[in-house]
Homo-oligomer: A and B are copies of this chain.
Amino acid sequence: MSRLDSFIRRLEAQRACLDRAAELIRGLDGFVLELGLGNGRTYDHLRTLFPDRAIYVCERQVAAHPLCVPPREMLILGDMRETLNAARGWLGGRVALAHFDVGTGDAARNQALAAELTPRIVPLLCPGAVLASDPSIDCPDLETLTLPEGIAPGRYHLYRRQP
């Protein structure tokens, strides 16, 4: 499989997981939290899926396509290891969907960052909230969900915070 093939599969898996997550949280109140803005393509997909929800976006420094930059008041700027701690006061238990894809292009580094951030992300989730993630997440409070049809195990990840 070429890198073009595997990139397409990863993007298709990401989209299928976000679309599935949108169904799963349909009856659940709460914010959407995008952890990593990047070029803003996924953020654009999230705002298409969730026109009626507030979408908060964590990013170190905005470098997205001009049409995909969130409003200033929805941006949580800085190192997520710090900003997620600071956000806990007002965001704790109020997020219905979090999406984690830092996309440094280095799988081992993504995985290490995910491990470091997991204890900061999980307390933000409300009971029943969904976490969609590129790296796998290991946390006893999270139940692993079945992936949408056609997505190979491990290509993307879906979790639900235990009620």
Contact = CB atoms under 8 A, between A and B. Distances in A.
| A interface secondary structure, majority | helix
Interface string A10-32: 01101100000000000000000
B4 A11 contact: yes
A8 interface: yes
Interface in A1-59: 1-5, 7-8, 11-12, 14-15, 40-42, 44-45, 47-48
Contacts of A75: none
Contacts of A47: 2
Interface residues of A, number: 22
Contacts of A40: 3
B45 A5 contact: yes
A42 B8 contact: no
Interface of A: 1-5, 7-8, 11-12, 14-15, 40-42, 44-45, 47-48, 65, 67-68, 105
Given A65-B105, A105-B65, A45 B11 contact: no
Contacts of A67: 3
Residue from the set A2, A12, A14 with the largest chain B CB neighbour count within 10 Å: A2
A3 B105 contact: no
A48 B2 contact: yes
Given A4-B41, A65-B105, 5 more contacts: A3-B41, A3-B65, A5-B15, A8-B8, A8-B15
Nearest to A7: B41
